[in-house]
């Protein structure tokens, strides 16, 4: 059941290269003004409503994908080693038709859509990304979710020969994530296979990655090889590393502070050296669509 959610942005908004060029010119102009500008205190916050997508360069060179290294540039540097074809996703657990689903077969069966979403990292930066992909619900229905399933567990590829970051014990590998079933079936939740109409680059989670726009970016697990339906809450990588810092839900919430970063504001990538911060929106701006999922829950306790 695709097309259950309509962008508040249209394809016309995704004119990245001109917007990108403009921004570059502004930045160059700032540089020309000299370094005196550094002394000017940045006061006002930038507006949060701007949904101009980030440029291809921004989206594909500034990534957190620790399987390729912890530096933001490492994924773009090393991910070209990754073999993404052939690729299959094992869907198992409480489903009617468990098995290894070939990526090409999945692509044939799914309805592709463009979704222009905000992406909010827990490190207090953000982007707007024009994804191409399909609703996760459609994929789960392909496998047939059984009654009694309440959670969905995801797993990233674990292939040290091609993923140099896996040689460091930064996290317990493989990377795993999880959603409650209703979150997974929500029309906003997609599996992305493209950006700007092009095949998704390896550093962004090729060939197929989850996108849950109202949660911090680390929930949107990349290069998925396994999806398991369960009746118990699955472990998630960052929660396992530090449950105090990273909750299972990890909904974007400007009122619940993270011990390392204030979550009240964020910096949109692309603003250059003098970029102003902007206020972070509840559920990353998708409150209307998803708040009902958490009715009656203490969002500070279940952070």
Partner 1 sequence: MTAWTWPNITDRPVNWLNAQLRRLPVWALYAAGGAWPAILLYMGATGGLGVEPITALEHELGKSALNLLVFGLAITPLRRFFGLNLMRFRRAIGVIAFAYVGFHLLVWLVLDVQSPALIWADIVKRPYVTVGMAGFLLLSPLAATSNNWSVRRLGAAAWRRLHRLVYPAVLVAALHFMILVKGFPVEPLIYLAVIVVLLLLRLDRRAVAWRAGGLPRPR
CB count in 10 Å sphere of residue 99: 12
Instruction: Rule CB under 8 A: choose which of 15, 81, 168, 255 binds partner 1.
Output: 168
- Pair 107, 89: CB distance under 8 Å: no
Pick the closest to residue 2 from 184, 188, 215, 225 (CA basis).
188
Strand 125-135, strand 265-268: pairing:
parallel
> For residue 54, what are the CA distances in angstroms to 4, 35, 71, 168, 192?
24, 26, 20, 31, 16
- Residue 39 touching partner 1 (CB under 8 A): yes
Q: Contact between 166 and partner 1 (CB under 8 A)? A: no
Give the range of 69-77, 78-86, 190-198, 228-236 binding partner 1 by CB under 8 A: 69-77
Among 10, 22, 25, 70, binds partner 1 (CB under 8 A): 70
> Least distance (Å) from partner 1 to the CB of residue 161?
20
| Binding range to partner 1, per CB under 8 A, among 10-18, 33-41, 135-143, 196-204 | 33-41
Minimum CB–partner distance for residue 147 and partner 1 (Å): 38
Q: Examine residue 26 and tell whether it contacts partner 1 (CB under 8 A).
A: no
Q: Is position 27 an interface residue for partner 1 (rule: CB under 8 A)?
A: yes
Binding-site member from 68, 101, 117, 125 for partner 1 (CB under 8 A): 125
What would you report as the CA-atom Rg of the chain, rounded to the nearest whole angstrom?
Answer: 19
Residue 262 touching partner 1 (CB under 8 A): yes
Pick the binder of partner 1 from 38, 49, 147, 244 (CB under 8 A): 38
Q: Is 257 near partner 1 (CB under 8 A)?
A: yes
Among 2, 7, 72, 162, binds partner 1 (CB under 8 A): 72
**77 lines the binding site for partner 1 (CB under 8 A):** no
31 Ramachandran zone, left/alpha/beta (phi>0; psi -120 to 50): alpha
DSSP strand pairing (99-102 vs 113-120): unpaired
128 contributes a contact to partner 1 by CB under 8 A: no
Is residue 52 within 8 Å of residue 128, measured between CB atoms?
A: yes
- Cβ neighbour number for residue 161 with a 10 Å cutoff: 9
Tell whether residue 169 is a contact of partner 1 (CB under 8 A). yes
Q: Using the rule CB under 8 A, which residue among 12, 35, 244, 295 binds partner 1?
A: 35
Shortest distance, position 238 Cβ to partner 1, whole Å = 8
Residues of this chain that interact with partner 1 (CB under 8 A) are: 24, 27-28, 30-31, 35, 38-39, 41-43, 55, 57-58, 61-62, 66, 70, 72-73, 123, 125, 168-171, 241, 257, 259-262, 267, 269-270, 272-277
């Amino acid at each position: 059941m695709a097309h259950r959610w309509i962008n508040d942005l249209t394809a016309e908004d995704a004119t990245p290269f001109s917007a990108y060029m403009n921004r570059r010119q502004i930045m160059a102009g700032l540089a020309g003004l000299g370094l005196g500008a550094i002394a000017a205190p940045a006061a006002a916050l930038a507006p949060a409503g701007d949904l101009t997508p980030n440029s291809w360069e921004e989206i594909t060179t500034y990534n957190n994908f620790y399987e390729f290294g912890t530096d933001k540039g490492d994924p773009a540097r090393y991910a070209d080693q990754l073999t993404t074809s052939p690729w299959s996703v094992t869907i198992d657990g409480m489903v009617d038709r468990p098995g290894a689903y070939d990526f090409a077969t999945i692509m044939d069966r799914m309805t592709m859509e463009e979704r222009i979403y905000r992406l909010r990292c827990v490190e207090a930066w953000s982007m707007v990304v024009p994804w191409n992909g399909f609703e996760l619900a459609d994929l789960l229905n392909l496998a047939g979710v059984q009654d009694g399933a309440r959670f969905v567990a995801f797993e990233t590829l674990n292939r040290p020969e091609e993923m140099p970051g896996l040689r460091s014990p930064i996290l317990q590998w493989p990377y795993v994530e999880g959603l409650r079933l209703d979150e997974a079936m929500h029309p906003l939740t997609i599996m992305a296979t493209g950006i700007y109409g092009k095949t998704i680059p390896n550093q962004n989670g090729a060939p197929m990655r989850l996108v849950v726009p109202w949660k911090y970016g680390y929930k949107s697990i990349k290069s998925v090889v396994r999806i398991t339906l369960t009746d118990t809450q699955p472990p998630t990588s960052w929660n396992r590393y530090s449950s105090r810092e990273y909750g299972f839900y990890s909904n974007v919430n400007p009122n619940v502070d993270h011990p390392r970063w204030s979550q009240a504001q964020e910096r949109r990538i692309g603003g250059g050296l003098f970029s102003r911060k902007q206020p972070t929106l509840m559920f990353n701006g998708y409150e209307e669509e998803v708040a009902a999922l958490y009715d009656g829950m203490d969002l500070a306790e279940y952070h």
